[in-house]
Each structure stands twice: as C-alpha cells, then as structure tokens.
Structure 1
C-alpha cells in the first residue's frame, strides 16, 4: 500500500522540520553529550588535582560549559552539512 502524505515519513511537507530546526536539535544533542563528558572528565581531573568545595564546582562547571558549547557547535555544523 503506498504511503499517503509528504516526503517526510507521512508528515505533510508544511509540518516537516526545517534545516534550522534540525541544526537546533543537533546543537542541543551535542550540548547534552558535551556537558555529560565535561562532567566526567572535569570531575576526574579536578579530583586528581585535589580540588574540593567551591573550586571543584567551579572547575567542573567550566569544563561542562566548554565541552557542551564545543561539541554542540560541531554537531550543529555537521547537521547543517547534511541538510
């Protein structure tokens, strides 16, 4: 039986996500993955250097934001290339 609807899996073409929507989703997924890896690697390195308390939270938070921004940007660029 043939599929009815638009070219995006049965969804009408007016409701299909745009390239910018796909880039936003790629950035958000990359940001989440980057923040998770930043928490792991930043936490381990901060414990290794003996950081405790406020210094630990500051170091891990900074590493999470840097990792999330970097990986999110690359995922958004990769999604834009695929559009």
Structure 2
C-alpha cells in the first residue's frame, strides 16, 4: 500500500499555518466547546434555581459567553505555547 502523506503543506513550496493562525484556531475550538458546556451547566443550574422565561435565557446566555471566553483563552494560550 502507498503511504498517505501527513498533509499538503510542505508539497510544492507551500507553508503550514502560521503561529497566529494556530492561536486563532485554538481560541475558536475552545470557544465552541465552552459554549456547549456553558449551555449544559448553565441551563441545568438556572432550572434548578427556578428561573423561567427571559431570566432563564439571560442567565444561560451569560454563562455560555463566560465559559466560552474562558475556555477559548486557555486553549489559545496552549496553542501559542506549542508554536
């Protein structure tokens, strides 16, 4: 069987993603995981406290943005360290 190349970056003079691109990708991945986690934990916590309607949506949205920003920041720092 022929070997599968690891990536097309180093063929024909192309370069891989820059360090800044990796940091941005790390932030976006961390932000999306943080949003999902914030929706789960924030939703369950708000329902446990008895929030309904607009209060529920405001609280869950705030928790989603906070956890997404926090986890995205840590993922981007980790990607920057690996550069």
Q: TM-score range by the shorter chain?
A: 0.7 to 0.9
| 1:15-30 matched pairs, under 5 angstroms | 15-30=15-30
| 1:61-80 matched pairs, under 5 angstroms | 61-80=61-80
| 1:1-20 matched pairs, under 5 angstroms | 9-12=7-10, 14-20=14-20
Alpha-carbon distance between aligned partners in 2 of 1:78 and 1:46, rounded to the nearest angstrom: 31
Query: Structure 1-normalised TM-score?
Result: 0.86
Question: Which runs of 4 or more aligned residues in structure 1 lie more than 2 Å from their structure 2 counterparts after TM superposition?
Answer: 12-15
Gaps of 5+ in 1: none
Query: Structure 2-normalised TM-score?
Result: 0.86
Alpha-carbon distance between aligned partners in 2 of 1:64 and 1:47, rounded to the nearest angstrom: 15
- Give 2:59's aligned residue: 59
**RMSD between aligned residues:** 2.1
Gaps of 5+ in 2: none
SS at match of 1:50: coil
User: Post-superposition shift, 1:11?
Assistant: 1.7
